[in-house]
Amino acid sequence: MITNDLTHAAGDLALTLVQVEGGILLRGLADTATQRALLIDEPLPLFQLTLRHVGTAEEKTLVADGGWQYAHVARTAQGFSAEWARPDDAALAGVRVQATATADAKRHAWRWKLQVENTSADWSLRRVVFPQLALSKPGDDGLALVPAGPGQLREDAWETAFSQVANYPAGWMWGLQFLAAYATKPAPTGLYVGIHDPYGSVKDLQMEGDPTALALRLTVDHPVPNMGRPGNPFFLQGEAVWQLLRGDWFDAAVIYRDWASKNARWWPRLGAEGREDTPLWMRELSLWAQGGSAEDQAATIGPVRQLREYMGIPLGFHWYCWHQIPFDNDYPHYFPALPWFVDGVRELQEAGVRVMPYINGRLWDTRDRGAEDFEFSRVALPAATKGEDGQPYIEAYGSKEADGSPVQLAPMCPTTPLWQERVRELVTRLFADCGVDGVYIDQIAAAEARLCMDPNHGHPLGGGHWWNEGYWRMLDAIRAKMPQDRMITSECNAEVFTRWFDGFLTWHWQLDRMVPAWPAVYGGVIQMFGRSYGSAPEDPDEAKALAWRMHAGQQFVFGEQIGWFNASQARDPMPMEFIRAAAQLRWRLRRYFYAGEMARPPRLRGDNPRVRANWNWFQSEDNPWVTTESLMSSAWQMRGEPRLVLLFANVSDDSLHCELLWDGAAYGIPAPEVQATRMQTGEPDETYTLRNSAPLPMTFAPRQVMALEVRW
């Protein structure tokens, strides 16, 4: 029975909430300007709560649209207020939910706050799923921005049964707190769904295709702080935002960038030259290699020196296996280093190479001296993350002990003084004793936050943002002791650590139909470097070269520092000439990537076929093939300066002909025409005139990188 049916519009975004018997139903979300319903006819409950009886495994759920003796929704001056109380299940009598939705007419957005009270002496709140939305296809050419890598587009999101979960803040999958879906035909419309949480609390962002209902389900699942303890409440950190999207993935990223730059605790201070707490050499670096042999000094040093000479620009070297212990084994006992490590560091630095060795910032081997439990049980176990059974979480990554058994590694709790001090000591010693330029601290910005349940650590049990804050304190202590000309980096790109690292290794951006949504938020804020350069071993040389050019071309336009291939593999001139041209052009334009930010991609019309290659990515064994456009492009704009550069990379073996559809207004340029300088490695610069509404014919030679720099 409907007792209250209310609709209110925030600009063009109309929200309908219906008070029904036993609950409140999210009836509709619509774009009033295009007359498009954004939700399917059978929407999901606005929220779902999961509670567990303390001392047993019994669980119960509560949803927004039923099961309550009291539910009331009302219009307010700002939007809506809603309340749920007195569940039908008497065992859950202490649970009460309050929500407010505030209309932001200027941005065509609804801003939600939610809190759950729990005064039960027997039941613990474990998960809060909010919001839950089942989106209808917004138009004929509907696209979903899937939470993976730097961002991935799916054209079949409504027609295919798929499920993609990003465990935030882990950077392995996504590392941002928003999702989006949109279309341009018959009229531009779509929806941005973001959790604007300035602390970056742990949560799972899920996107799921349901072809039977022609629906795209978006849900955000929050583990609750102090799960396992009775009477624990939940407060949504920040707010959930539903904003009308009249654009594409780039516009969605700009919405999030605008919020994060003003509110996120992890947004660093930016000056005229970008991150001035990051050494200039790191901000400028444009090329990386990786490798390291514990047995052969010449095999490690020689190829890196040769690569540096061939490329003709500064080179970063990510040095693995610099220690005497095996890789992914006996952590964290890295010292003593190889006897020739310090001399090797000095030799490479004298050749113009910046050296960054590897350590892991998260794991302790449970048998940490060969097959012996040396310090784990005696020293580390109290500081390890633990499940509800009191046992440490265990992870394995393929490494083996001498007896062939898997190495079992325990993720450590970042709030514990033991682990904070151990990682700080390792980094400080590498700087002081070994003279390295930077330290790579693996997994911190990649792996999931373990829901540690050890009450002795002093943090809330399970969910919350304590995981991030533990690492923030650790990294503050490291940076306080770090020489000013040094840097630290981590694996993948969890945004919550941006302020504390100087670079993120984006080696895992290996997907089909990728778009640079993450660089659109954080380009110029932190340096992105490195891809895993894969190709199928059985492929002919031409196919392998194409795969490498696709990697390097995409890195170039995405604003990443190029490379991260093994220096000993960089001998084939087919891809290396292209990579050298891209790296040298990036070096020439390097200031855009640390004192600028990504701007709207240029509009092109004409010849741009897709190319396809096997990238041989180990996480995509079922489908390692990646398809991109032959001609990749992007735009980067200086902050506060009248300068813009358009980047182009033709990764194919064919000449391409297209037209640049220039529109200065898209970049805030008032003049109807501007002068542009064409740049390409090894060729003299040429000047063009770009006019609004006057397409510029452009020809790209096979395997060519090019830039157009615009000043006004």
Task: Give the pLDDT mean for 82-89.
Answer: 98
Structural domain contains residue 670: no
In a domain, 683, yes or no: no
Lowest mean pLDDT among 226-235, 308-317, 462-471, 569-578: 569-578
Pair 334, 245 in one domain = no
Q: What is the CATH number of the domain that holds 194?
A: 2.70.98.60
Q: Is residue 125 part of a domain?
A: yes
Among 556, 573, 594, which residue terminates a domain? 594
Lowest mean pLDDT across 396-410, 532-546, 666-680: 532-546
Query: What domain range is 355 assigned to?
Result: 280-366+418-594
- Which DSSP string do the residues of 447-510 spell out, in sequence order? SPPP----GGG-SPSBSSSHHHHHHHHHHHHHHHHS-TT-EEEEES--GGGGGG-SEEE-TT--
The neighbouring-strand residues paired with 553 are none
Q: Considering the domain boundaries, does residue 634 fall inside one?
A: no
Residue 652's beta-bridge partner residues? Answer: none
In the predicted model, what is the mean pLDDT of residues 293-315?
Answer: 92
Model confidence over 216-265: pLDDT tens digits? 999 999 999 999 999 999 999 999 999 999 999 999 999 999 999 999 99
In a domain, 353, yes or no: yes
Q: What pLDDT does 218 receive? A: 98
Q: Average pLDDT of 658-682? A: 94
The pLDDT value given to residue 55: 86
| Residues 469 and 519 both lie in one domain | yes
Residues 33 and 180 in one domain: yes
Give residue 122's Cα distance to chain centre. 38
Please report the pLDDT score of residue 573 as a whole number.
Answer: 80
Residue 682, pLDDT score? 87
Q: Please, what is the angle between helix 297-311 and helix 573-588, to 10°?
A: 60
Domain count, the chain: 2
Phi and psi for 533 in degrees, rounded to 5?
Answer: -90, 95
Is 0.95 topped by the overall pTM?
Answer: yes
The pLDDT assigned to 569 comes to 82
Q: Does residue 664 form part of some domain?
A: no
172 and 224 together in one domain: yes
The answer to whether residues 334 and 258 belong to one domain is no
Answer yes or no: is pLDDT of 211 > 70.
Answer: yes
Q: Does residue 55 or residue 79 have the better pLDDT? A: 79
Residue 21 lies in a domain: yes
Q: Same domain for 294 and 145?
A: no
> Per-residue pLDDT tens for 480-511?
999 999 999 999 999 999 999 999 999 999 99
Residue 282 in this model has a pLDDT that exceeds 90? yes
Run of H or E residues at 595: helix 592-595
Residue where a domain stops, chosen among 574, 594, 614: 594
* Reported confidence tier of residue 621, pLDDT bands at 50, 70, 90: low
For residues 131-143, give the mean pLDDT: 97
Separation of alpha carbons 430 and 487, rounded Å: 12
Q: Are residues 252 and 326 in the same domain?
A: no
pLDDT given at position 620:
65
- 3-state SS, residue 195: strand
What pLDDT score was predicted for residue 3? 72
Same domain, 431 and 492: yes
Query: How far, CA to CA in Å, does 683 sit from each of 659, 678, 705?
Result: 21, 10, 11
Q: What is the mean pLDDT of residues 446-475?
A: 98
CATH code of residue 543: 3.20.20.70
Residue 117 backbone phi and psi in degrees, to 5: -90, 145
CA distance 701 to 64: 59
Instruction: Answer yes or no: is 581 within a domain.
Output: yes
